[in-house]
Every structure is written in C-alpha cells, then in structure tokens.
Amino acid sequence: MTKKNNCDAFTAVIHAGQHPDPLFRGVSVPIYQSATFAFESTEQGAALFAGREDGYIYTRIGNPTAKALEDCVAVLEKGYGGLATASGMAAITTVYLAFLDRDSHLVSTDAVYGPSRTVVENELSRFGVQADFVDTSDIEKIKKCLRPNTRLLFVETPANPTIVLTDIRACAALARERGMILVVDNTFSSPVLQNPLELGADIVIHSLTKFLNGHSDVVGGIIVAKAEGHFRRLRTVLTLMGGTIDPHQAWLVLRGVKTLALRVEKSQGNATKLARFLAVHPQVSWVNYPGLESHPQHVLAKQQMKGFGSMLCFGLKGGFAAGSRMINAVKLCTLAVSLGGVESLIQHPASMTHAGVSEEERKAAGISPDLVRLSVGCEGYEDLKEDLDQALRQA
C-alpha cells in the first residue's frame, strides 16, 4: 500500500506513508487545509463519487494530509488501512457503531479506559446494546459470559490503569471460533512494542493523543483494520458520523510519529529502572509493571510485546491519603490525566479518569483507591528518581 512496509521500527516511523509534495517536492507532507477539492470535469467528479476513481472530494470524506498519517500507522500496525479520527473516543465509538446492532452483546476488559466503558453502559445501552466487563486476562472468564449475540470482544492490553495484560492470541482464537470481531486498544504499547493484528486481532485502535503524537498538544485517534471489508464498513460509519481528523492535527501527529521509536526507547528505559526503584521503596506497598518478574503476566509480556513500555502503577502503604500527599508533592512529574508524552505525568485514576465508573465496578476491576498511575517520560532518570523519592518521603 505504501513504501517501507517491512522494515525496522526506527525506519518505518520516519518513512511509512510519506511521499514528497508532488507540486514543489517538499520533503514534509503539506497541510492540505482545504474543506473541498476541485474536479477536473463533471465526469471525474462523478467517477470520484461513484468510487471508480481515487481522489479527494471533501475533507470529511478524505484528505491527503490525513491519508499520509493513516497510511503511516497502517504500515506500523501491519494492517490493510487506517482511519484517523478527531479523538480516541471517536475511534472507539466508530468501532462500536460499525459493528454493534440493536440487542447485540459486547465483552470488554473491566479495567478498560473509563469513557470506553461509560459510553456503552450509559449511552449505547439506550439502543439495546448489552455488555459484560470482565477480567480478560482470564480467558475462562471471557468464555463464561459469551452469548449467542456476542458480536465484539474489545480488549485493552496493557489495561488502563491497572497494567494487566490480556493474551491476544488466545482471544483471537476464541473470536474466530465464536464468530466475533476482536478489537484491541493498543494505546499503552504503541505499534513499536506490540502489533495485535499480527497476533490475530481484527482491528486495532489508538488514541493518537498519547504515544503516537507524544507531545501532549494534539487530540486524535486512529483505527487500523486487517481486512478490507472491516475497513470499508468503518470508513462508511466514520464519514457519515463526521468524526474525521482535522488536517492540521493530522500533520502534527505525523510529525510526532517520526520520533516515536526514539521516545519509546528512552521512556521505557526510564520506566524499567523506576519500577525497580519503587518496588523496594519503603513507602511503596506494590508495583505493577510488565518488566518486573513479579508482574502476573510477565511471561506473556515477553511473548506478545517487543518491550515492556513506559506505563506503570503502584500503591503506597498509607493508602489513598498517602498517595494524594505524594502526588501533590511531586515537582518534576506533572499532575495530569493524559499519557505517552515526552514529559512524565502522574494521576489518581479512582478520583480522575475512572471517576465515572462506580466504586463497586472499580473494585472488581482492580482499580483500588491507593492506585497511582505514572506515565514515564523522556527526562533524565536520576531527575525522575529524585523527584519521586522526595515526594514519597513526604507521603
């Protein structure tokens, strides 16, 4: 589909989907900030609308800048095609609306990103969509809640914010057996560290806001489908609902993607060392990071991931109160709810990102009141360690 389809991640993030400007030969993809595109003739316009000719009609339907980003991420995820959206939630809701009919059933990870769950329980339920949210790290728990009308298996691995892993291959085998579509939210890993489509998933989604962009200055999302049929269905729903990305935002993400492999390498190195530091800290009661041998799915992480990532969570011995004091005492880390940027971000999910999930459901999903989520950035390791240490001493 595009050049550089089978190469090293450091090469792919720079070249995938990229083509010099055809008019002036600029190396950087231009920002095609145009709502509509001119036709050469009425015949060409008719051919474009009929799908007999490739080209651009209207930016809600397609845009060259957005297409460059879509092709880039599709290559990184090794899929048929990508669809860039206005936000991560636009990507998620597009998948839901494309494949969930009235009275159809969804099974999803219990510790999934809060709004991914809330939109199903509070909004799609009004149209008859049914759902079960379970610990998808246990394949038997998934099997127990399957129904004849189960249409989607939607997993997030590593999960937000518990950093629990789900076996993608096992879920893919189950989905094939039961005629379900397997969707994987790959935001926490990025395509550099995990490729769900190669492991059997049908669709992969990302919040572009996070690792792919990497600079905490853009909101966006993307869907990559493995099969042409799924891609065309998703494209139809996305363009009709109007959730497509703006060309300028697409260009900013495309620029951010070029440093993805470098950023992931640095932040992952920091996270691995910080996880080991926190694991032996006297104020810390537990740490969950796939790179630690103590992680319940450490072996699985080595099997389906190319690295352990830069997301971790931990709890303090003083519980919620101690965690709150610790978060308020950080000086270098930033108290904010996003992740995947060059700066380290720290937050308290139970009172922030997952506040919309009931206390009972948070408890069942392992989102304890003491859980602190840390997105490790690209700062110097010793600076991060010193900041967390001084904050922990105040907890």
CA-CA distance, 8 to 317, in Å (whole number)? 43
pTM summary value: 0.94
pLDDT digits (tens, 9 = 90+) for 372-382: 999 999 999 99
CA-CA distance, 227 to 309, in Å (whole number)? 28
Q: Is a pLDDT exceeding 80 seen at residue 317?
A: yes
More confident call, 172 vs 363: 172
Q: What angle do CA 210, 157, 81 make, to 5 degrees?
A: 65
Catalogue all structural domains in the chain, each as residue range(s) with its CATH number. Answer: 9-257 (3.40.640.10), 261-394 (3.90.1150.10)
Omega cis (within 30) before 64: no
Contact of 83 with 90, CB cutoff 8 Å: no
pLDDT digits (tens, 9 = 90+) for 98-144: 999 999 999 999 989 989 999 999 999 999 999 999 999 999 999 99
Q: Which amino acid is at 166?
A: T
> Which helix (DSSP H) or strand (DSSP E) does residue 18 occupy?
none
Q: What angle do CA 203, 206, 207 make, to 5 degrees?
A: 150
pLDDT digits (tens, 9 = 90+) for 65-92: 999 999 999 999 999 999 999 999 999 9
Helices (H), the chain: 9-15, 42-50, 64-77, 88-99, 114-118, 139-144, 168-178, 228-241, 247-257, 260-279, 298-304, 319-329, 359-364, 381-394
Contact of 187 with 257, CB cutoff 8 Å: no
| Distances in whole angstroms, Cα of residue 374 to Cα of each of 93, 211, 258, 340, 363 | 26, 14, 24, 10, 20
- Enter the tokens of residue 22: 């055809």
Instruction: Catalogue the active-site residues.
Output: 60, 113, 185, 210
